[in-house]
Amino acid sequence: MGQQFQSIEAKHRTFIEQQKMFFVATAAPSGRVNLSPKGMSSLQVLGANDVAYLDCTGSGNETRAHLLASDDKRLTIMFCAFDGAPMILRLYGQAQSLLRGSAEYESLLPHFVEMPGARQIIRLAVDLVQTSCGTAVPLYDYQEDRENLAKYWGARDASQLRKYWGMKNMKSIDGFTTGLAPEDMLPAAET
């Protein structure tokens, strides 16, 4: 039976911190709904109604494009128990994308282990927490985080990262802009 809460309670925080994987869903007013898996211990609970995750460079940037295209900036984060007692937990709210190199990004960065290729922090102001049974979610054994992404970006310099952002992260698959300015996104020490 599903339950709803106005904020992240202690038991929710414990569950969130135990998960190795989460999913992020966004939608612009038109076009496709995006759903992305995330991992690498990149999410942090910052407060009872405040979470954020460090977002690494990937082949697209649908989340940022959808947030910019949408007036209400809706975002949902979902966690599933793949071991132990079954549960699904969803965090609903409004999000913002804080680009690498911005003052907001730098102020939140101490909450994370910085990863090579990180491009933004997505911060969610949670207005609803929902739990449900999750009894149809299969059991899986966690082995380890994949290191491919960190190794890939760790072997490249700032100019290669900027070039990739310019080629792959400027528009969503539906043509919405991500508003990236790759030349402005790296701190001076990395340029």
Report pLDDT digits (tens) over 149-187.
Answer: 889 889 999 899 989 999 999 999 999 999 988 777 775
Residue 40: predicted pLDDT? 78
Cα 141 to Cα 188: distance, rounded to the nearest angstrom: 42
Beta-strand ranges (E) seen in the chain are 3-5, 22-27, 33-38, 43-47, 50-56, 74-80, 88-99, 118-132
Residue 42: predicted pLDDT? 92
The structure's pTM equals: 0.94
Residue 190: predicted pLDDT? 57
Structure tokens at 139: 């059991």
Residue 150: predicted pLDDT? 86
Residue stretches of the chain with pLDDT short of 50: 188, 191
Closest-CA residue to 173 (of 71, 41, 34)? 34
Cβ atoms of 96 and 75 closer than 8 Å: no
Pick the CATH number of 3-135+145-180 from 3.20.20.150, 2.60.120.260, 3.40.50.720, 2.30.110.10: 2.30.110.10
Cβ atoms of 77 and 90 closer than 8 Å: yes
Residue 188: predicted pLDDT? 46
